[in-house]
Structure 1
Amino acid sequence: MTATTILLIGHGSRESAGNDEVERFTQTWRARHPQWCTELCFIEFADVEVEAGLARAAKSASRVIVVPLILNAAGHVKMEIPAHIARARLQWPGVCFDYAPHLGVCEPILAILQRQLRGCMQGLDMPDPTTTGVVLLGRGSSDREANGEMARMARWLFEETDHELVDLAFTGITYPRLERVVQRQVLLGMKQIVVLPYYLFTGTLIQRIARQVTHLKQQYPHLRFAQGAYIGFEPEIDSLLAERVQALMDGSLASVHIGDEVLQWQPHRHDAHDGHGHAHEHSHAHEHGHHEPHPEVHA
Structure 2
Amino acid sequence: MTGLVIVGHGTRSAAGVEQFAALVERVRRRGDLGDVEGGFIELSRPPLTDAVGALVARGHRALVALPLVLTGAGHGKGDIPAAMAREQQRHPGLSYRYGRPLGPHPLLHDALEQRIDAALTGASTAGADAGTGLSGADAGTKLSGADRAGTWVALIGRGSTDPDANAEVAKVARLLWEGRGYAGVEPGFISLAQPSVPAVLERLRRLGARRIVVAPYFLFAGVLPDRIVAQSAEFAAAHPDLDVRVAEVIGDCDALADLVRERYAEALGGDIRMNCDTCAYRVLMPGFADKVGRPQRPHDHPDDPVDHHHHHGHDHHHDHDHGSVAVVGGGPGPDDLITVRGRALLDAADVVVVDRLAPQGLLAGLRPDVLVVDAAKVPRGPSMAQETINAALVSHAKAGRRVVRLKGGDPYVFGRGHEEVQACTAAGVPVTVVPGVSSALAAPALAGVPVTHRGVAHDVTVVSGHLPPGHPDSLVDWAALARARGTVVLLMAVDTIAKIASVLIEHGRAPQTPVLAVQDAGLPEQRSVSARLDEIGASAAREGIRPPAVFVVGPVVALPTTGPTV
Give me the whole-angstrom Cα distance separating, in 1, the residues matched to 2:245 and 2:11. 26
Letter in 2 for 1:102: P
Q: Does 1:253 align with 2:251?
A: no
Deviations 1:8-57 (A, max 9, x none): 11111112221121112212221112661112210111343234433443
1:139 CA drift (Å): 1.4
Structure 2 equivalent of residue 158 of structure 1: 177
Cα RMSD of the aligned pairs, angstroms, is 3.0
Give me the whole-angstrom Cα distance separating, in 1, the residues matched to 2:233 and 2:24. 33
TM-score with structure 2 setting the length: 0.46
1:290 aligned to which of 339, 351, 365: 351
> In the superposition, relative to structure 1, how do residues 272 and 72 fare at CA in structure 2: closer, same or farther (>3 Å)?
farther
1:92 CA drift (Å): 4.3
CA contact (8 A) 2:102 2:263 kept: no
> In the superposition, relative to structure 1, how do residues 17 and 264 fare at CA in structure 2: closer, same or farther (>3 Å)?
closer
Instruction: Give the alignment of 1:184-223 within 5 angstroms.
Output: 184-223=203-242
Structure 1 equivalent of residue 13 of structure 2: 15
1:48 aligned to which of 32, 46, 57: 46
Mind listing any 5+ residue stretches in structure 1 that lack a counterpart?
295-299
1:272 CA drift (Å): 6.6
1:141 CA drift (Å): 0.7
Give me the whole-angstrom Cα distance separating, in 2, the residues matched to 1:10 and 1:207. 18
Q: The residue matched to 1:61 in structure 2 has which SS?
A: coil
CA contact (8 A) 2:220 2:249 kept: yes
Structure 1 equivalent of residue 297 of structure 2: 265
Q: Does 1:73 align with 2:72?
A: yes
Structure 2 equivalent of residue 110 of structure 1: 109
Instruction: Give the alignment of 1:129-148 within 5 angstroms.
Output: 129-148=148-167
1:88 CA drift (Å): 3.8
Deviations 1:196-245 (A, max 9, x none): 01111011222222222222222111111121101112211101111222
CA contact (8 A) 1:4 1:65 kept: yes
Instruction: Give the alignment of 1:219-258 within 5 angstroms.
Output: 219-249=238-268, 251=269, 253-254=271-272
Give me the whole-angstrom Cα distance separating, in 1, the residues matched to 2:82 and 2:246. 37
1:191 CA drift (Å): 1.3
Mind listing any 5+ residue stretches in structure 2 that lack a counterpart?
123-138, 277-281, 283-292, 301-310, 327-345, 353-366, 370-566
Letter in 2 for 1:229: E
Give me the whole-angstrom Cα distance separating, in 2, the residues matched to 1:94 and 1:238. 29
Report which structure shows greater RCO (CA 8 Å, sep ≥6): 1
Structure 2 equivalent of residue 274 of structure 1: 319
| More deviation, 45-54/142-151 | 45-54
1:38 aligned to which of 36, 39, 50: 36
Q: The residue matched to 1:136 in structure 2 has which SS?
A: strand
Deviations 1:131-158 (A, max 9, x none): 4211001111111111111011001011
Give me the whole-angstrom Cα distance separating, in 1, the residues matched to 2:253 and 2:49. 28
Give me the whole-angstrom Cα distance separating, in 2, the residues matched to 1:90 and 1:129. 53
Give me the whole-angstrom Cα distance separating, in 2, the residues matched to 1:16 and 1:214. 22
Give me the whole-angstrom Cα distance separating, in 1, the residues matched to 2:223 and 2:47. 21
Deviations 1:157-203 (A, max 9, x none): 11122223211111111111111111111111111111101111011
1:115 CA drift (Å): 1.3
> In the superposition, relative to structure 1, how do residues 58 and 284 fare at CA in structure 2: closer, same or farther (>3 Å)?
farther
> In the superposition, relative to structure 1, how do residues 159 and 242 fare at CA in structure 2: closer, same or farther (>3 Å)?
same
> In the superposition, relative to structure 1, how do residues 184 and 80 fare at CA in structure 2: closer, same or farther (>3 Å)?
same
Q: The residue matched to 1:40 in structure 2 has which SS?
A: strand
> In the superposition, relative to structure 1, how do residues 177 and 35 fare at CA in structure 2: closer, same or farther (>3 Å)?
closer
Q: The residue matched to 1:141 in structure 2 has which SS?
A: coil
Q: Does 1:170 align with 2:189?
A: yes
Give me the whole-angstrom Cα distance separating, in 1, the residues matched to 2:160 and 2:295. 23
CA contact (8 A) 2:81 2:298 kept: no
Structure 1 equivalent of residue 94 of structure 2: 95
1:282 CA drift (Å): 3.1
TM-score with structure 1 setting the length: 0.83
Structure 2 equivalent of residue 297 of structure 1: none
Q: The residue matched to 1:189 in structure 2 has which SS?
A: coil
CA contact (8 A) 1:198 1:231 kept: yes
Instruction: Give the alignment of 1:118-133 within 5 angstroms.
Output: 118-123=117-122, 124-125=139-140, 126=144, 127-133=146-152
CA contact (8 A) 2:81 2:296 kept: no
CA contact (8 A) 1:169 1:176 kept: yes
CA contact (8 A) 1:213 1:225 kept: yes
1:262 CA drift (Å): 7.7
Size of the alignment, in residue pairs?
A: 285
Deviations 1:233-285 (A, max 9, x none): 22111011112223433x2635979x9x786536476677436xxxx533367
Q: The residue matched to 1:163 in structure 2 has which SS?
A: coil
Q: Does 1:24 align with 2:10?
A: no
1:89 CA drift (Å): 4.0
Letter in 2 for 1:274: D
CA contact (8 A) 1:98 1:255 kept: no
Percent identity of paired positions between Structure 1 and Structure 2: 29
> In the superposition, relative to structure 1, how do residues 254 and 206 fare at CA in structure 2: closer, same or farther (>3 Å)?
closer
Which structure dedicates a bigger proportion of its chain to helix?
A: 1
